[in-house]
Each structure stands twice: as structure tokens, then as C-alpha cells.
Structure 1
């Protein structure tokens, strides 16, 4: 973005808040309920055309969402993009970041190579995750929009769908149904990811960043638990004993971050371990919140016994990962994507996702996406260019384009080992897609492959095999609720604040019912009715 636009955004940030009423003006005349899909003509989901890539070493199981696993890097790469992408113009994209600020494109070989391949001058506005809600609210209120805007990343913004419906481009006629075949790598995104993103008013407005079926879980220092004699397939008592046994001095059994407590994420692994339904239970056509179930209350009471890192409520997700890497904490609640970063960082101990510890667990599935991008309204030719940019960045594993987008330039960011696999260089420690997060504009559907770490691939594949067959979906995933669109951020805050208060001892478990009552009064009950209507229509 130009300097004036950036200064305008930063200046407006001093006034921005994320309360439910702040963005009321963003609706642009949208009527209440217009974001819903009940009674609308539904744009068909983009046709799924899978990429015929290299044969995996560990077979996928589509029925359960178990991914393909690769122990070694493919020896022969395909070409996924055959036509020219860009026209030499500037393309601005605003995405979340968990890394350090990258050097500018003229000093950054990775950025320069991507610009050359894309045929555009890609300008990134990078928003640290701790500032994401505030900065996004600022941009949405300003009307000064970049070409590509990312939503999601575990955050729900007030009036998110209203804003998108009125201020962003309807992509239905460009990627709905067979139209997506003009962008083969976007057609390779599986249906569950599009459905997890959902339609707005029957239309398709975005492109999802695919994530596999597992949802939030607990990543664990397996070496520490093995040393203490704690089994991999544990029960609740063994789980608690293992984490308490690790806690001593300046070491703690479990950690979380500020973003975990913006909603229910901090409780997902534990609620699933106790058999709680994934956010909602559908019974007799009604949506009943998981927060009212006995299983969720049992999980909450159990969480009050856990030895949490004391500053979890004020620690960023980035800093919490560092505390896990240096073994200050033995485990951390995080999303499925945390595994890949851990595989790249951890060398001194064995890590793994934890299996659920309950007798009849219901591990919670994710929503099939990390986030999604939408486009500023523009002429059709401009929208097609932006789609081509996304199509390139979504090139699948086993292609030369994927290699550039994920590992950089051979000889600069990586070399090839004796087995032909990727060996990252010193430059890749600073020039990578964590610090230059183009993967949040668009990305390939994930497979399980960790360069130079086939054992991590085997562990994750086995964890999926042990966990996913008994996992449960969120029945509201991809559905629309007018109430949730306007008040979802506030409702998530009620739950997140309530969880934090109970887990860290400021309130008792007996006060949880009052928290849920407040959540229902502020819109939770109305959202349940609207989800039930949408669910019946779907």
C-alpha cells in the first residue's frame, strides 16, 4: 500500500475496537439475515478435481480425513501452472503473521523470486497475530481496502460476513461449479474446505486456506512424558500426573496463549477428551451448545487442576511456541498447523500430538480451513488476475511451483540431500514463508511431509489413524447466522473470558452456568435458532 494509505490505517487504529457495535456502519445497507443461505439460490461448490501427484508412502483414508504421508521428497516434480499469471501490476494483500518482519523485496531473494514467478509486484501488509482483531477492524471501517484481505486464523470479527457481502467481490460466476476448472490448483482444494468457509447469501466470496480434518489439540513433549513413565495412550489420571510431575521451578506442564482464550480453543482438546459435542449438539432439530453439557462441565472442572504456565493469558502464540521449544512448558494447546513448525524447530526432544485421555472421547474436528481470502471489488479482468495469483500459490505438493512457494530458490534457500530431499540453508532461517507468509493468501492442500524428519511424518500419520475415526464435526460449520455475524466476536469473548476466569481461579466452576446464561442472553440462544433453520435447509 502507498504511504498515505498505511498512515491512514495506522492512525485509525488508535480509535478502533472490536466490540459488536463498532462496525455497524460496514453493513452498507445489508438487511439482517441477508448473510444466511436459507431460501437462497445456492451457488454450487467448486468442482473438485484432484491433482495426480506422486504416490505417497503412507496411504490416505479419505473417509476419515487421514492425510497422505511422504517419508521422502518426490524425485520428479510436475508443472502445475502452464500459463502466464500476472500483468506486472501491484497486488496488495493483508494477511496475519507469526514471524519477524521480512526484508523488502529488493533485498529478499524469496520475495523477488515469487514476484518474478507471479508476474506482479506483491505488496504485503503483515499483521501480527496479537494485533489481528484490532487491525482488521480498522481496515474494515476505513473503506481503504487492499486487493486481497485475509479472514480467519481463529478470530471471528464482528459483522464479518456483512462486510464481505457488501464491500467485497462476489466470485460465484468465476469459481462456482465447473468455473473453477480455469484455475486447476484451486480446483484441487477439497470440498470440505470450501464448505467449511461457507457461502454468504448463497454466494461464494472467498478462497479457503485448506487445513486437514483435525482441530485444535495438544502438542506434547513426548520425551519428557516417556522419561516419567507416562504412556502414549493415557487416562485422565495419568495425564494429570504427567503434567504435574513436569511442573517444578520455572517449568510447567501446560501452556496456552492469549489467542487461545478469545473463545473456546483453550478447551477443545479437553472437552473432546471428556466426550463433549463439538460446539453444538443437534437434538430434535435444535442446536444445544456444548457449554451446557455435563461433559463440557467435567472437562472445565478438570482443567482447573492443570498446572498452566501462569502468564498464559498475556503470552502471544509466537512466544508460547518458543516456551515449548525451549522446554519451559511440556505441552501447549494449539491448532493442527503447529505440528509443521514444531518439526522444523525441535531437535532436542521428541514431540507429538497427544491422544485424548477420556474413556469415550469425541476429538473435535476442525472446520477444514485456517482462514480464507476475499477480494476488493474490481473489474472482472482484475479479479481473474487475483485468482491466477492465488492459483499459483495453491500449487500442490509435488510440483515445481509448490517447491518455490514453500522452500524458496534452490541454491539460495535450500539444497538437495543425498536422497534428493530438501536441506534448508542459513538464508532460509530468515527468508521463509513464516516471515513472508504468502501461504495465507493461498496454499496447497496439506500432506504430511517434514524435510529430513520421516519419523515425525510417521508419528503424525499414526496419530491421525488413532484419532480421526472417532472424531466429531461441528454441525454449524459453514452455516450462517445473522446473530453470529453481528455478535460472534462478542459471544466468543464471553466464553473465552469465562474460561480464563474459571481455569485461572478468578471464578468457581459453579459460576459457569451464569456465564453460559449470559452468553445465551447476548445472542447465543438466538444463534442456536438460526443455525437450526440453516441446518434444516441444508
Structure 2
């Protein structure tokens, strides 16, 4: 996750998004957007939150070179030369604030030994004392702290590590922020008001708002292809399943140590018309994605690609699971098509272009199996949730909201620059394209700490590679026009604990078919077995929570 800025916040979001999808869908089998927790589940979303969510009031401090299209991310070909001071008054009151954030990187030097901390704290008017907890340990740590009712003033929780029974206990540990932020109340914090409505959905529990979001992506992943090698081979992206199969056949050449693809299964489910983990059939019945024709056809189609020898042997053997090896195979041209998070595009260019200027990758345009109109069922774009301890007085909560407001400042502001690049001349300098680049001190001291408190809407920016900026902007604009919201979009669902192993079990059974470990005929039996092993009971649960949410 280390890019040309040390740690790129949007690259991180893309990687997180991919992780969320892989975990939450269990290979597009069942919905587990939060770890299974209670014996009786809950859901929240839609009309129930109309009076709870903040008003969206967009702000702009630097005009984008390529505006967003219908809500897709805006793009900047150049980093703004002049920065605006967005927040005139210091948010803090001069004291110390305790905060716990997740860490996915080495912990930097602490207070008194970190010039970055000193610079941001001076601007905030408060001394933030961070406790950084490994992302792998965060869920367990937070669970223990909640049980003891002993949490720091600020807790930043990854949306993919929500502890068991969190919905039950959130109101006993964390402050209800609804009356501070609902509707036009959020206008007191203009940078927070800039965060789109959908990003706040993941911060709502028990019909109330308990957090401030760090926005993520609606599109956690996509298919990439080696555009440079496609050009050499005289091939182009496909527009149907038949064209995709012919493409794979044409570019696969084991004698040249070249195969078409690795894991593309979830993208194949979308290609065949998958509408998310849960949907309704023609009769209105709630069905799991595993029960749909789209899922079965995707399994059979992906199996046929593997059986024909178009998939890299390491994928078929299971050797790519849980590793980043697919990136290496893609980079060295042994695998020309891969599925990865949206942040992988920028990060791979940064890693490969310096030594291979001709390296070019692109996101494959969406396509439908029969050549018709494609669709992309989007994910709730809440990546992180920032919460405040419940026992804090009103004026302290307002101070912490002002600090979060500072962290949410968008590109073009001095605040954004400070949070992401530290002090210019000390932590970073501008390169020939005007893009800030962290120096050795910046890379050592700056990680996502303050930046996790809140964030502006995602943007596209990489002055070093304007071709990437234009291509990603175009991909987002096109994909945004094909987005659909799944049946449970924005719902907060805690599944009963007895179903916790169901997703992984059927993910494994699905891959057994795809890899040829079990006969392809088993693809048509997966749904029946899933229903027998608890799927029907899980359907009843989701039917009820959908009804409770007015869906």
C-alpha cells in the first residue's frame, strides 16, 4: 500500500474496498457486511433514516480539470498550485485528545519525536495522543474495551472489523451524534456536510447516527487488463461473454509463459446479471445470489475458462488465494487480466512505470454476457467510522466534530495538504509536475492517523500520469451510469451467529467446481445444499429485516 506519497489514502481505500468485498460476500455467496453477531439480527436504512442523516452541501476549493459525471469522482490533472485556508479558527481548545486508530503499516515516531504530529496539532489547537492498533487485532481490542466501557475519546473503526454484538452495545459506549449532525445541523461543519449522503449510511445504528464516515468507493474492485500487451497482440476488450472467451483463447500462450487470467469470478457474476448478495426473483421472493441463474452461469463459465487452460496454473491450483502474487504475474506479463481493488491501478503504475515506461494497464469497461446493458451492484461506501466516547459533555463533542471537520477538508485546502503531506519543505516538496512528494522524513512520520477521522469525497489525481487520470475518470463516469443499488444497500445487518460459517463453506465449494475438483454438474446443486444447510432460515432472517426497513 505504499505509493509515491508513502501511503496514498485513495489507494488505501481501493485496497480496503476489495478486502471488504471479498470478506463481505464470501465470493458472492451470502451477505455478511458485518461479522455475525446476535441471535436476532437488525437492519437499518432507507426511509427510516430520512430524518437522521446530514444534509449534503458540496464545497469546492479547487476546480477539477475533469468534473464528475452524474456523481462520479472528479479528476485533477494538476495538483492545485494555490491552497486556500478553509478553516480560519483552531478547532481545538488547547488540551489533549485521546484517539485510537487502526494501523496497517509500521507505527511512526510518537509525540515529541514527530514533527508531523507537532505541525498538525499546532494547527488544530489540540494535542492528539494516538493509540495505533494493528488492523489484524483491532476488532478484538475494541471488543474488550467496549466490554470494559473504557475507550479513548475518539475511536476510528474500520467498517470491515465491526465487533460482534456491536449494534447492541454502541449506545452504551459511544455518543449519539444524531442531534449534532442531522439535516441542516451539519452546516456548522461544512467539510463534513461535503460528504455525500450514502457515505453516512454505514455510521447509523439502531435508527440513530453514531459516527462520522471516512468515505470509500462505491466500486470496490474491477477487472484490469494489460493495455500495452493487448495492443501488441492486436486485441481489444470484449463486449460479451463469447467475445471474452475468444479473447482469452487468443492471448493465452503457455509456450510463451502467458495466460489470460487469474481470479475474475465476482466480475463474471456481475457480467451474467448478478444484483448483489440478496435480491428478489420475479415472484418477489428474497433470494440469495447463490440461488440465481447469474451465479450458476458464472460458475460454469469460469470453470470452462479454467478447463480450457486460459487461467494461470497458480490460480487453478489455489496458489494465488490470500496473496498478492497475482499482481506480480500481471506486472511481468504472465497474466494479462486480473481482478483487483480500484486502488491497484494507481499503485501499480507508480511501481512499474519508473523501470518500464511502456507499462500500461486499464480497467475493462463493463459488459453484459449477451452484449446488452451491463450493471454494477455498488457497495455502501463507508470505509471507516469515527465515534466519540459516550460520557463526553456537549462542548467536548462539538470540539471533536470540529477536529473531524478539519480532517475532512478537500483538495485545494491548506488543511488537506497538511494532513496528507505534512509541512511543505519539511515533509514534502513539489516535483516537476507540481505534485507533492514525501521525503524521507515524511515517509517516516506520516501515516493515516488524523486523516482517518473523516475524509472528503474520493477524487482522481496523479499529475505524473495524466493518461491514468483521464482513463480512470472515463471508467468511473461510464461505470457510474450502470450502477445499481442492491436490495440491502445501506442496511446495517447483523446476522445470527449460527450462520457465520455458511459463506466460507460455499465459497470453498464454489471454487472446487471452478478449479475442477468437483464435477461441473455440482454448480447446479450448490443452491439446494445451501438451503438445506441453513440457507432457508437465513432467507427468513433477511426477509424480515428487509420488511422492517420498509423494503
Q: Where on the TM-score scale, by shorter chain, does this alignment land: which range?
A: 0.7 to 0.9
Q: Distance in 1 between matches of 2:337 and 2:544?
A: 37
For 1:330 and 1:101, the matched residues in 2 are separated by: 36
The Cα RMSD (Å) is: 3.6
> What's the TM-score once normalised by structure 1's chain length?
0.79
The residue number in structure 2 matching 1:60 is: 68
1:252-300 Cα deviation digits (max 9, x unpaired): 76567xxxxxxxxx84322112221122223555432222111112222
Q: Is the 8 A contact 2:99 2:153 kept in 1?
A: yes
Shift of 1:202: 1.6
* Partners of 2:230 and 2:295 in 1: CA distance: 26
Deviates more, 1:267-276 or 1:441-450: 267-276
SS state of the match for residue 313, structure 1? Answer: coil
Q: 2:174 aligns with which of 168, 171, 178?
A: 168
**For the structure 1 residues 279 and 498, does the alpha-carbon distance in structure 2 shift closer, same or farther, using more than 3 Å as the test?**
same
Q: 2:486 aligned with 1:474, yes or no?
A: yes
The answer to whether residue 550 in structure 2 is matched with residue 536 in structure 1 is: yes
Compared with structure 1, are the counterparts of its residues 207 and 39 closer, same or farther at alpha carbon in structure 2 (3 Å cutoff)? Answer: closer
Answer yes or no: is the 8 Å Cα contact 1:160–1:486 preserved in 2.
no
Summarize the Cα distance change of 1:303–1:182 in structure 2 as closer, same or farther, 3 Å threshold.
same
Q: Does 1:101 align with 2:101?
A: no
Question: Separation in 2 of the partners of 1:488 and 1:373?
Answer: 28
Q: Kindly state the Cα deviation for residue 448 of structure 1 after the two structures are TM-superposed.
A: 1.2
Aligned partner of 2:13 in structure 1 is none
Cα separation, 2, equivalents of 1:106 and 1:326: 44
Please give the secondary structure, in 2, of the residue aligned with 1:236.
Answer: helix
Residues 530 and 146 of structure 1: CA distance in aligned 2, closer, same or farther (over 3 Å): farther
Q: What's the CA shift for 1:447? A: 1.3
Structure 2 match to 1:46: 54
Q: Which residue of 1 aligns with 2:20?
A: none
Identify the residue that residue 301 of structure 2 maps to in structure 1: 302
Structure 2 CA distance for partners of 1:270 and 1:95, relative to 1, 3 Å: farther
Q: 1:226 and 2:231 equivalent?
A: yes
Q: Residues 385 and 91 (structure 1 numbering): CA distance in 2 closer, same or farther, change over 3 Å?
A: same
Cross-structure match for 1:259: none
Cα-to-partner distance string for 1:494-525 (whole Å, 9 max, x where unaligned): 45444455445555551522553267538531
Shift of 1:83: 1.9
Q: Counterpart of 1:371 in 2: which secondary structure?
A: strand
Between 355-364 and 185-194, the greater mean CA deviation after superposition: 355-364
8 Å CA contact 2:238–2:244 kept in 1: the answer is: no
In structure 2, what is the equivalent of residue 200 of structure 1?
Answer: 205
In structure 2, relative to structure 1, the CA distance for the partners of 1:419 and 1:147 (3 Å cut) is: same
User: 1:301 and 1:487 mapped to 2: Cα distance?
Assistant: 30
Gaps of 5+ in 2: 1-31
Aligned to 1:4: none
Say which SS state the counterpart of residue 61 (structure 1) adopts. coil
SS, match of residue 312 in structure 1: coil
The one of 418, 433, 444 equivalent to 1:404 is: 418
Distance between the aligned counterparts of 2:289 and 2:499, measured in 1? 16
Deviation at 1:346, TM superposition (A): 3.6
Alignment equivalent of 1:484, drawn from 495, 517, 537: 495
Q: Judge conservation of contact 2:279–2:287 (CA < 8 Å) in 1.
A: yes
* 1:12 counterpart residue number: none
Stretch moving more, 355-364 or 380-389: 355-364
Listed as ranges, the gaps of 5+ residues in structure 1 are 1-19, 257-265
Secondary structure at the residue paired with 1:106?
Answer: coil
Cα shift at 1:41: 8.1
Q: Where in structure 2 are the equivalents of 1:296-335 lying within 5 Å?
A: 296-304=295-303, 305=306, 306-307=311-312, 309=315, 310-315=318-323, 330=336, 332-335=338-341
Q: 1:314-463 alignment to 2 at 5 Å?
A: 314-315=322-323, 330=336, 332-347=338-353, 348=356, 349-357=359-367, 358=369, 359-360=371-372, 361-379=374-392, 380-418=394-432, 420-433=434-447, 436-463=448-475
The 5 Å alignment of 1:269-284 reads: 269-283=267-281
Higher relative contact order (CA 8 A, sep 6+): 2
Q: How many matched pairs?
A: 494
